[in-house]
Amino acid sequence: MPRPAVAPSESTVETACPLDCPDACSLTVTLRGGRITRINGGTANEVTRGYICAKVRHFDRRVYGDDRLHYPAVRRGPKGKGAFTRVTWDDALDRIAERLEQVRRSDGPEAILPLCYGGSNGYLTQDYADAIFFRRLGASRLLRSVCAAPTGAANAGLYGKMGSVAYQDYPSARLILIWGVNPGVSGIHLMPYLKEAREQGATIVVIDPRATTVARQSHIHLAVRPGTDLPVALAIHRHLFEEGLADEAFLAAHATGADALRERARPWTFERAAEVSGVPADRLRQVADLYARTSPALVKCGWGLERNRNGGSAAAAVLALPAVGGKFGVRGGGYSMSNSATWGIDRAWLQDAEAASRTVNMNRVGRELTTPSGTPIRALFVYNCNPAVTLPDQARVLQGLSRDDLFTVVFDQVLTDTALYADVVLPATTFLEHYDYAKAYGSLSLQLARPVIEPVGESRSNTEVFMDLVRRLSLSRDGDPDDDLDAMLASLSGMPSGIGDELRASWRATPPYGGRPVQFVDVFPNTQDRKVHLCPEALDREAPRGLYGYEEDPATGRFPLALISPASERTISSTLGELTRPDIALDINPADADARSIDDDDEVRVFNSQGEVRLRARVTPLVRPGTVSMPKGIWRRHTSNGWTSNVLVPDSLTDLGGGACFNDARVDVEKI
């Protein structure tokens, strides 16, 4: 007899995945006796086609795992050791309220820093109750720049964050440039659409220092040196402009700044770009020619290319291609990046009435904690973030977290590497235990996520905890939300008309433009004059070498290899890093390994003047010569000396947006 899909004593609940991933899958969660027994793909989000990644399929391993935090606790041993004593919520929150009040009185509210980032990427778990609390308190603000700051600045400056080409329209393209993005890992639902495009005759070009899955399935792979996308993109622009292939009519009607871009691209011949990028000039010419000749042509711009000193200008030059090449106005033509602004609901309900306090760039937190540039930070409130392993300059970050005079709260789901340094640890619910929104940033999809189980242990949601602190510090105002559900309902009322009502009624909203906006037909630049700004003044002023100004590779004789640390299959950043990671190794090209007498599986030290990481080497041609790669988001327990790639990453900032230069780490490798 066929097994019934759901056994009689089981039930299923529909929800959605709000993790920091472009796809926002809908989920069907199976329960038995109040416990999760299965997590599958749901059907509400058509784009994700009913399947999900292994990370979330096995998310119950986090929910019920050994590292899960079940109750509040306070530190009893030295910082970093992880010895804690259980306390009640009241006790924990009273201590926090008291210490924050004390710091506010003695050093001013700016001595308090909330430190948060992706977490579950939700709308209620970030910039809702937390914002109410920290803004009314007058705490320092955080520049959330660890990711997407340079690409975001470029997209905002050139196009005012115009809506992107949707996954479903990739098969309409005849040429697709996959630039600095690895959808086989970081946004898996794009892959079937790429396959469809290929089957319908599209040419796929991948620009990546590694031969990723998508690169191996492509027609042309440009294995550029990290940080050299700017010269490559400028060489294509130069070709378009100088060979009469630029769409001058489009530029005259719809763009400003074309002359500045033309000028700045002029020095970048294919030969010069080849020398810098390590890709032969004829390959660059071939791609430029293809791009000039083909329509619809699509550029998918990712985040791998932003994480270096030239990252903002590189993203701008890549995003400028469809304007100069005249690729807009047809389905499958244009560019695709983040669609997070397309709904027009970006925290519309968040009132910014409080006086602005100073802003601290999260990429400099290590430095601010150790050698402050202004008001010293006395209290750190970490949530939705694992800075001990995800921020640049790990040695300084850990030194800062070790400060005895620093009061640190860590509010998380599991005992992270950061939590080991906390004075007070608070247990957080997961997205399967609270309300949230799941908004895709790859495709256009917006769904509500609902609790499917009771909170595990004594864990509480961000809304509950921050609203409780609002009350304890006497910061309450009329109309404040009490709990999660209250906050969700209030945020729904603050949304543009239609969207909130629809979400309330059916838990999902109908995407604008049928979910498939055509650029320059349905959506236009959200700039004041609705034009593309190819060389916006603000960006030109911000970039230290002017927009499109290139800085040389920082590799020196001592540290000749570029270390990159891209997304891996097993984690979302460091989330789920508590689970076993047998895959962790340093990928090194056979040529670089041979030169150092390194064999596959040898234990190596990866080092520079900032520090060293000891781990296993994997000798593989999948990473280009001169570049080595280690997964992002690994925990300290995953390497043999307790350091991760970020100990080798400088805390220098990208040319635009104050972003992190993760891929500017220059190192050497030695067999131990």
Ligand X SMILES: Nc1nc2c(c(=O)[nH]1)N[C@H]1C(S)=C(S)[C@@H](COP(=O)(O)OP(=O)(O)OC[C@H]3O[C@@H](n4cnc5c(=O)[nH]c(N)nc54)[C@H](O)[C@@H]3O)O[C@H]1N2
Binding site for ligand X (CB under 6 A): 20-21, 117-120, 125, 146-147, 179-182, 185-187, 207-210, 212, 224, 226-227, 229, 302-305, 307-308, 383-386, 390, 411-414, 416, 428, 462, 564-569, 571-575, 632-633, 645-646, 649, 662-663
Non-local CB neighbours of 595 within 8 Å, separated by 6+ positions: none
Q: How far is the CB of 280 from ligand X (least distance, A)?
A: 16
Mapping DSSP to helix (H, G, I), strand (E, B) and coil, where does residue 169 land? helix
The residue within the footprint of ligand SF4, chosen from 188, 279, 319, 576 (CB under 6 A), is 188
52 binds, among Mo ion, ligand X, ligand SF4, none (CB under 5 to 8 A by kind): ligand SF4
Q: Which is nearer to ligand SF4, 25 or 321 (CB)?
A: 25
Judge residue 83's burial from the number of C-beta atoms within 10 Å of its C-beta, 0-12 exposed, 13-18 middle, 19 or more buried: exposed
What residue number has its CB nearest to Mo ion? 147
Q: Which is nearer to ligand SF4, 162 or 438 (CB)?
A: 438
Q: Which is nearer to ligand X, 262 or 638 (CB)?
A: 638
| 303: nearest Cα among 336, 343, 345 | 336
Which residues, 263 to 302, sit near ligand SF4 by CB under 6 A? none
385 binds, among ligand SF4, ligand X, Mo ion, none (CB under 5 to 8 A by kind): ligand X
Q: How far is the CB of 445 from ligand SF4 (least distance, A)?
A: 10
Number of residues located near Mo ion, criterion CB under 5 A: 1
Distance CA 575, CA 230 (A): 31
Q: How far is the CB of 292 from ligand X (least distance, A)?
A: 20
Distance CA 500, CA 507 (A): 9
17 binds, among ligand X, ligand SF4, Mo ion, none (CB under 5 to 8 A by kind): ligand SF4
The residue within the footprint of ligand SF4, chosen from 29, 44, 47, 53 (CB under 6 A), is 53
Does the footprint of ligand SF4 cover residue 25 (CB under 6 A)?
yes
Q: Which is nearer to ligand SF4, 24 or 465 (CB)?
A: 24
- Residue keyed to tokens 């002017």: 546
Q: Which two tokens stand for residue 633?
A: 């988001």
19 binds, among Mo ion, ligand X, ligand SF4, none (CB under 5 to 8 A by kind): ligand SF4
Site stretch for ligand SF4 (CB under 6 A), options 23-31, 133-141, 168-176, 275-283: 23-31
The residue within the footprint of Mo ion, chosen from 132, 147, 385, 465 (CB under 5 A), is 147
The residue within the footprint of ligand SF4, chosen from 29, 44, 47, 56 (CB under 6 A), is 56
Non-local CB neighbours of 86 within 8 Å, separated by 6+ positions: 71, 72, 73
Q: Which two tokens stand for residue 508?
A: 């999902």
- Residue keyed to tokens 């898996």: 188
Instruction: List the alpha helices (DSSP H) in 391-457.
Output: 394-401
Which residues, 559 to 578, sit near ligand SF4 by CB under 6 A? 572
∠ CA 299-300-306, nearest 5°, is 110
The dihedral region occupied by 299, where left means phi > 0, alpha psi between -120 and 50, and beta the remainder, is beta
Neighbours of 54 (CB within 10 A): 10
Does the footprint of ligand SF4 cover residue 29 (CB under 6 A)?
no
Distance CA 379, CA 400 (A): 11
Distance CA 38, CA 30 (A): 5
* 301, 233 Cβ separation under 8 angstroms: no
Give 39's strand partners: 29
Which backbone phi and psi does 189 adopt, to 5 degrees? -75, -5
Q: How far is the CB of 489 from ligand X (least distance, A)?
A: 18
Site stretch for ligand SF4 (CB under 6 A), options 16-24, 205-213, 559-567, 647-655: 16-24
Does the footprint of ligand SF4 cover residue 17 (CB under 6 A)?
yes
Per-residue CA distances from 236 to 47, 206, 224, 254, 291 (Å):
32, 15, 14, 20, 9
Q: How far is the CB of 536 from ligand X (least distance, A)?
A: 23
Give me the sign of the Cα torsion angle 572, 578, 580, 586.
Answer: positive
Footprint on this chain of Mo ion (rule: CB under 5 A): 147
Footprint on this chain of ligand SF4 (rule: CB under 6 A): 17, 19, 21, 23-25, 52-53, 55-56, 188, 572
